[in-house]
Amino acid sequence: MFTKKKLLRFALVAALFLAVDAGIFSSLSGEFSKLMEASQTKEIRLFAQTAPVKAELLGDWMASVQTVLPGCEALYLSVDDAGKFVVGPGSGGLKALYQQNLSLPEFVKALDSVYYLEPYTTTGPYSVEVSGAAPLSGRVSFAPIADDTGAGVRGALVILSASTVAADFQGLLWGLALIALLLFLVIYSVVSFARDRVMGFAIVGLFAVVGVFVAYPMFESVRLTFWKGGQWTLETWATVLSPRYLVALWGSVQLGLWTATISTLLGFAFAFLVERTSVGGKKFISNLATLPVISPPFSLTLSIILLFGNNGLITKGLLGLHGFSIYGLNGLVIVQTISMFPIAFMTLSSVLKAIDSTVEDAALDLRATRWYTFRTITLPLAMPGILSAWLLVFTNSLADFANPLLLSGSYRVLSTEAYMAVTGQNDLGGGAALSILLLLPTLTAFMAQRYWVSRRSFVTVTGKPSMRLTELASPAVRVALTIFVGLCIVLIIALYATIVAGCFVRNWGIDYTFTLDNFGEALTRGWRAITDTVTLAALATPIAGVLAMIASLVVVRKVFVGKRLLEALIMTPFAIPGTLLGISYILAFNKPPLILVGTAAIIVINYIVRELPVGLENGSASLRQIDPAIEEAAQDLGADTPTVFRTIVLPLIRPAFISTMSYTFVRSMTAVSAIIFLISANWYHLTVQIYNFSELLRFGWASVLATALIVIVFVAFGLMRLLVPDEGHTDKSFAR
Amino acid sequence: MPKTSVSVTLVGVTKRFKNTKGRDDVIAVSGSDFTVAPGELVTLLGPSGCGKTTTLRMIAGFELPTTGKILIGTEDVSQLPPNARDKATVFQSYGLFPHMNVFDNVAYGLRLRKVPAAEIQTKVEATLKLVGLQDLADRSPGRLSGGQQQRVALARSLIVEPAVLLLDEPLSNLDALLREQMRVEIRRIQKTLGITAIYVTHDRVEAMSLSDRIIVMKDGVIQQIGTPSDIYENPATTFVAGFVGKVAFFPVTVTAVAGGWDCQLGGKNLRVTQGAAGVPAAGSAVLMSRPESLRLLSPGQGSVEGTVRMNVYLGHSVETFVDTPFGEVMVQVDDPASKAAFAEGSAVSIGFEPERVRLLP
């Protein structure tokens, strides 16, 4: 902790380091300027020798200065018969500067020197005001132009070098020196002031990770929406808020409203059937209902296109429809509902499970009818849960990128507009602004959830689910509900079956002959994508798992300044749309000091950062269940922090650790929205390959890859469970 | 088992908890000074929130003192992390490792110290035998009773041969009977090993029966340090008197005389020889007596007149509640069969034994 002695020592060492750092920086910078100067002088000299003899060619020659010496102002001086220098063609600003300073001793000296064929560069900078432009400033170089004999002078080249390159490099050098100082200060302060250094470094490390890979890219993307052509402007926002994009915003919101409402209704029907009735096969129903959550993107869209598209099996093959189009709002609502109603289902079944059946019994006991009981008791109790399920689906629908990409047709939504802005128009700022715009309804929904839903929550989590339940549905209602849910399940199975069927068909919609060719083609063309994706996801999985558990330990067990900030930063990628994260990554990491675009690292880091929030939630929920005295006991017996983590914490929160890892793997394998911006010629992604095949109308190939992805995901899930069996001893925290 | 017993010394230890919500800081422990002698068992006794557990956690290293020094032996450990201090803690909730069996739990500390496997085997067996758990080495802690879990926790701490054993309300999760057994057990083991021990409890009976010395705390401040009998018989304040046993208080006016005080109690005069520091030479004070030192006498014969309100029969004694001008006073009549009983509602007089009463400020 802080003592005077330690503070004094810290200050001394910090000052010493500052001195060394500054010393190294200035000597490096000095060396570099000398080098730059020497090379520039040489360049100017060489260029001066190319001066044409004919006066009429001088103008063109002067104009070519910009290509040889970019960013420089140039002026030609000719020598008149009297041996005096006369201003020739060249930059007006420099002309003014030259004339203004002509009588200064240094200029006289310079001209003298040039006269004797010696180049000269002023020691200090000179500047001149230029009307209607930025003032010119810089050191002035004089290069002689020799005549035919090589012994006399026939002119001189005056160059004012703004030396932007040098300034850039100096800036970088400065940055590095600053980073070195900062790094040293942080590390040294942890070493001298933290009692638990390992924890200190863990906290600093986490801050560094989220600072560099969450806060910095976010900042860069916001900054770029206000920055164009080197200055602050609202131009980007003016474009984004024009009717053209507001249509897309409304499109996103409209899609969200429809999807959220239908998904919630569907989810409630499923949840009610599973949790509140005595129907059989509940396990089967809930397994199938949650299937779309882990299924890869594009797969459901793909099968919808195969069934209902322009050449769809049902639309064209069975019904012979021609004018029908699945592309647009209707198709999107269908696909999004199928892929997102499981979210509503899972939320609502835990809510319905938590409602104590005895309150319904009490209503029935007071002679309420079943319908009346449902309406006045069950529904109001489930309302907060219904609302949060709705909001969850709503935000997911807005952020959805994969489905609209294939299926939106002429319908416009923000997430794909952002992608088009980046890839089509190379307008990164616009893309970022559009994604930020997408954050608006999401944030509103989050706020609404926080301030309204949570306040109206009736269901306490403490109650054990009641052992028995009274059926509120009458037999007729139950049968109707069962048939409805059954139909939905048949649809889900049919959709998956369609993808598998698609693998074996020569040309869907036109030629339904059986073939195995698709496998060969798709796997040859897509093999790189498969191996790349598996490699990257496998790399990210353990890192995300361990990092999430460390973060959980830090957040749950440690008290430190900025804990809330750290938590918020870790959770941020959960709330922001993937498109925004992807765009901000290319904005932030395609320039110094961190150039990562095109590498595997940027993809792996993106996976990790995106899955960290869920891992943190898993880990901290699990850790909160564990008596802190268990860790204290280990520490008490002499274990240091890493040992406690390895021998006590990790084994105890193993289920959370495993589920975080399998979740990360699956989500990384199936990622699209952020990844589509980050893939490169070096590292490709399976989902993007599926998209490309679909765009090329190679539905057979796309089906093969989608099936392969589904198989990989399932194998990974099974393997993870098999390799590390869940022993379930986490709930044994003792004696409270 | 322990190498050599060492002392524990606290010098001016204060712990201030920063209050983040803009309220005042909480001073959990204020200027604690005490020394625990080698091989001694000292209890920190006080009501909840008095700072006793904070004091223990500072000695263990889980909290850092805001000011002051903590020495184990001669080493200043004030700023050392918990894993660098030569002590072992038995936690209130035991903190057993649920993913390890009893043997592995007890062996944990030895494995950290890289003790050879064969030696671990013999040592764990010996320690489990010491706490009477030799047959349960393969059990998972979840399948042990509360008392057994407690013994595992104790064994796990003892096996690393700490210089100091710290016990944080180790018996508070056990039922009354088991608590009494374990109390004896802990005392036996501590004496056998001759280990220095600091024990935190809010149970005065536990403190009395276990300790060589007791430190009574209130609101972060040490009220009194002394042997159990000293604390019981010669409390320094009304708080200590009331906390360590049943007591009757009477407001009196005192005048100092040679060898004691003259007390005015409801018009009667009383000579008292014992008094705590801080009793004024002249002015008001509090007269205390333990219920077992009071006598029930016929009306007019004692010092305080009253009426019997209720008799509670306890077998070895009767607790008689008497309404007096100074409030309700409980008198404990030991061996009631041999004494005359006063019926409920009858007038009675309470008499003092002059050498068993004490003045408190």
Contact yes or no for B91 and A629 at CB 8 A = yes
Q: In this complex, which of B91, B140, B173 lies closest to A633 when CB atoms are compared?
A: B91
Residue B93 sits at the chain A interface (C-beta within 8 Å): yes
Q: Which residues of B touch A196 (CB under 8 A)?
A: 81
Contact yes or no for B99 and A1 at CB 8 A = no
Tokens of B332: 């404990």
The Cα B295–Cα B331 span in angstroms is 7
Which contiguous run of DSSP H or E holds residue A380? helix A379-399
| Residue of chain B nearest A733, judged by CA positions | B98
Tokens of A442: 């999401």
End-to-end CA distance of chain A: 33
B260-265/B248-257 β-pairing: antiparallel
Task: Tally Cβ neighbours within 10 Å of residue A234.
Answer: 11
The DSSP code sequence of A547-600 is: HHHHHHHHHHH---TTHHHHHHHHHHHHHS-HHHHHHHHHHHSEETTEE-TTSH
Tokens of A368: 């309420």
Residue B91 sits at the chain A interface (C-beta within 8 Å): yes
DSSP tag of B37: P
Cβ neighbours of residue B165 closer than 8 Å, sequence gap 6 or more: B87, B88, B90, B157, B158, B190, B195, B196, B197, B198
Q: In this complex, which of B89, B99, B157 lies closest to A729 when CB atoms are compared?
A: B99
Q: Could you tell me how far CA A312 lies from the centroid of its own chain?
A: 35
User: What pTM was estimated for this model as a whole?
Assistant: 0.77
Bridge partner list, A590: A595
Assess whether pLDDT exceeds 90 at residue B199.
yes
CB A412 within 8 A of CB A281: no
CB A436 within 8 A of CB A583: no
CB B246 within 8 A of CB B204: no
E-assigned strands of A483-528? 505-507, 511-514
CB A423 within 8 A of CB A405: no
A266, HSE (Cβ side, Cα atoms, 13 Å): 27
| Alpha helices, H only, A589-685 | 600-624, 628-636, 641-644, 650-652, 654-669, 675-678
DSSP tag of B19: P
Helix, strand, coil tally for chain B in percent (to 5): 30, 35, 35
By CB atoms closer than 10 A (0-12, 13-18, 19+), residue A695 is: exposed
Residue B143 sits at the chain A interface (C-beta within 8 Å): no
User: Nearest CA of chain B to the CA of A623: how many Å?
Assistant: 13
Instruction: Count how many residues are written for chain B.
Output: 361
The Cα B50–Cα B217 span in angstroms is 6
The Cα B18–Cα A731 span in angstroms is 32
B328, HSE (Cβ side, Cα atoms, 13 Å): 9
The Cα A647–Cα B327 span in angstroms is 60
| Alpha helices, H only, A85-196 | 92-101, 105-115, 164-193
B353 vs B43, residue with greater confidence: B43
DSSP tag of A466: P
End-to-end CA distance of chain B: 46
| Residue of chain B nearest A639, judged by CA positions | B83
User: Nearest CA of chain B to the CA of A404: how many Å?
Assistant: 47
Cβ neighbours of residue B217 closer than 8 Å, sequence gap 6 or more: B44, B45, B46, B50, B51, B52, B55, B223
Contact yes or no for B89 and A633 at CB 8 A = yes
Contact yes or no for B97 and A633 at CB 8 A = yes
| Residue of chain A nearest B145, judged by CA positions | A735
A residues 630-669 closer than 8 Å to B (CB): 630-640, 643, 647-648, 651-652
Residue B60 sits at the chain A interface (C-beta within 8 Å): yes
E-assigned strands of A436-479? none
User: Nearest CA of chain B to the CA of A647: how many Å?
Assistant: 10
Report the pLDDT value the prediction gives residue A673, as an integer from 0 to 100.
Answer: 86
A648, HSE (Cβ side, Cα atoms, 13 Å): 30
Cβ neighbours of residue A103 closer than 8 Å, sequence gap 6 or more: none
Residue B9, φ and ψ in degrees, nearest 5: -130, 130
Kindly give the interhelix angle for A563-575 and A428-448, rounded to the nearest 10 degrees.
110
DSSP tag of B359: E
| Residue of chain B nearest A561, judged by CA positions | B20
Name the residue among A634, A623, A633 with its Cα closest to residue A660. Answer: A623
Residue B149 sits at the chain A interface (C-beta within 8 Å): yes
ipTM of the modeled complex = 0.82
Name the residue among A403, A396, A397, A435 with its Cα closest to residue A419. Answer: A435
Kindly give the interhelix angle for A428-448 and A216-225, rounded to the nearest 10 degrees.
110
By CB atoms closer than 10 A (0-12, 13-18, 19+), residue B253 is: middle
Q: In this complex, which of A635, A648, A736 lies closest to B97 when CB atoms are compared?
A: A648
Tokens 């020394």 belong to residue: B35
Tokens of B218: 């209130």
The Cα A732–Cα A713 span in angstroms is 32
DSSP tag of B275: B
Contact yes or no for A633 and B79 at CB 8 A = no
Q: Which residues of A touch B112 (CB under 8 A)?
A: 637-639, 643
B164-168/B196-201 β-pairing: parallel
Hey, of A623, A636, A654, which one would you mutate to test binding to chain B, going by the most B CBs within 10 A of its CB? Answer: A636
Using CA atoms, how far residue A408 sits from A54, A253, A332, A414, in Å, is 65, 14, 7, 11
The Cα B272–Cα B270 span in angstroms is 6
Contact yes or no for A735 and B146 at CB 8 A = yes
Q: Could you tell me how far CA A314 lies from the centroid of its own chain?
A: 38
Q: In this complex, which of B82, B96, B173 lies closest to A636 when CB atoms are compared?
A: B82
Bridge partner list, B306: B348
3-class SS string, A196-261: CHHHHHHHHHHHHHHHHHHHHHHHHHHHHHCEECCEECCHHHHHHCCHHHHHHHHHHHHHHHHHHH
Residue B141 sits at the chain A interface (C-beta within 8 Å): yes
A residues 180-219 closer than 8 Å to B (CB): 195-196
Report the pLDDT value the prediction gives residue B341, as an integer from 0 to 100.
Answer: 76
Task: Tally Cβ neighbours within 10 Å of residue A444.
Answer: 13
A511-514/A505-507 β-pairing: antiparallel
Assess whether pLDDT exceeds 50 at residue B123.
yes
User: Nearest CA of chain A to the CA of B267: how many Å?
Assistant: 54
CB A337 within 8 A of CB A393: no
Task: Tally Cβ neighbours within 10 Å of residue A663.
Answer: 21
The Cα A214–Cα A206 span in angstroms is 11
Cβ neighbours of residue A67 closer than 8 Å, sequence gap 6 or more: none
CB B287 within 8 A of CB B357: yes
**pLDDT tens track for B131-142:** 888 899 899 888
Q: In this complex, which of B81, B88, B140 lies closest to A196 when CB atoms are compared?
A: B81
Mean pLDDT by runs of 10 across the 736 residues of chain A is 77 88 84 79 80 77 75 80 79 80 83 83 77 73 80 81 65 82 85 80 92 92 82 82 88 93 94 84 83 81 85 76 80 91 89 79 83 86 86 88 87 89 85 87 76 58 53 83 91 89 83 83 87 92 93 89 90 87 90 81 93 90 88 90 90 87 88 87 87 86 90 82 54 31
Hey, of B15, B53, B62, B83, which one would you mutate to test binding to chain A, going by the most A CBs within 10 A of its CB? Answer: B83
Q: Which residues of A touch B89 (CB under 8 A)?
A: 632-633, 636
Report the pLDDT value the prediction gives residue A723, as an integer from 0 to 100.
Answer: 65
Residue A735 sits at the chain B interface (C-beta within 8 Å): yes
Q: Which residues of B touch A648 (CB under 8 A)?
A: 97
Name the residue among A319, A298, A323 with its Cα closest to residue A310. Answer: A323
Task: Tally Cβ neighbours within 10 Å of residue B26.
Answer: 14
Contact yes or no for B98 and A1 at CB 8 A = no
The Cα A639–Cα A355 span in angstroms is 44
Task: Tally Cβ neighbours within 10 Å of residue B156.
Answer: 31
Report the pLDDT value the prediction gives residue B21, as an integer from 0 to 100.
Answer: 62
Q: In this complex, which of A632, A651, A652 lies closest to B62 when CB atoms are compared?
A: A632
Name the residue among A102, A83, A82, A85 with its Cα closest to residue A94. Answer: A102
| Residue of chain B nearest A637, judged by CA positions | B109
Hey, of B91, B100, B113, which one would you mutate to test binding to chain A, going by the most A CBs within 10 A of its CB? Answer: B91
| Residue of chain B nearest A735, judged by CA positions | B93
A residues 138-167 closer than 8 Å to B (CB): none
Q: In this complex, which of B60, B82, B149 lies closest to A735 when CB atoms are compared?
A: B149
